[in-house]
Structure 1
């Protein structure tokens, strides 16, 4: 097991299902991403850099791509979603669409590859 697997095992079923699915979608885009930590959070890492983290809060799930620029790049896909400089928040009952997750991960992957 890895850090993400351990984190998912401790979540409520709804949170684990929604977050686990988001990580599966991210791995479709970056199959060689590895489980690790980013800023102390369970995260997918790519080429030694943090790619994506999702964390359960009391009333939402937070998505952290470790890049305000990645969020800005997909802002047209975030209409009606609570997005800030470094975080996207959504209600577990209304998860982010898979295409939005894919676009966010592609944007962050491109940044990592360009650095």
Structure 2
């Protein structure tokens, strides 16, 4: 994929072979269904979603689809058994293209990240309130 100045997700996905494009669109729809209020953007030249901060990114490759986010220790511990079947780093989960998309797992990931982002935002609001009261 040579182009790297994507303006939107459709433009990003258009450059992939049909089978990968279909998987990318499935991931996109799962995220939209699970987080309908999330804003869809391009960040780091890949699709990303913002919901009270960055929620999740996804990207396509010849052999896999990556879901990316700065995974917290709590996330990695909560999904330890689910993640055992995938190649995982502190910021990406590789979903092999030769396996069915784990749709229920993707939804769980998005819901968990939504909860994390809301909690993080609430903690910031409490901290800000405390500072302004001093």
- Structure 1 residues 47-66: Cα deviation after superposition (integer angstroms, max 9, x where no partner): 3x221111112322211033
Q: Scaled by the length of structure 2, what TM-score is found?
A: 0.73
1:83 equivalent in alignment to 2:91: no
Structure 2 partner of 1:67: 71
Instruction: Kindly report structure 1 stretches of 4+ aligned residues shifted beyond 4 Å.
Output: none
Bigger radius of gyration among the two: 2
Shift of 1:96: 3.2
> For 1:108, what is the secondary structure of its paired residue?
helix
Structure 2, unaligned stretches of length 5 or more?
A: 1-6, 121-134
1:3 equivalent in alignment to 2:8: yes
Which of the residues 45, 55, 60 maps onto 2:59? 55
> For 1:67, what is the secondary structure of its paired residue?
coil
Q: Give me the whole-angstrom Cα distance separating, in 2, the residues matched to 1:57 and 1:68.
A: 24
- Number of aligned positions between the proteins: 113
Task: Point out the structure with the larger helix share.
Answer: 2
After superposition, the Cα gap between the structure-2 partners of 1:102 and 1:90, relative to the gap in structure 1 and judged at 3 Å, is same
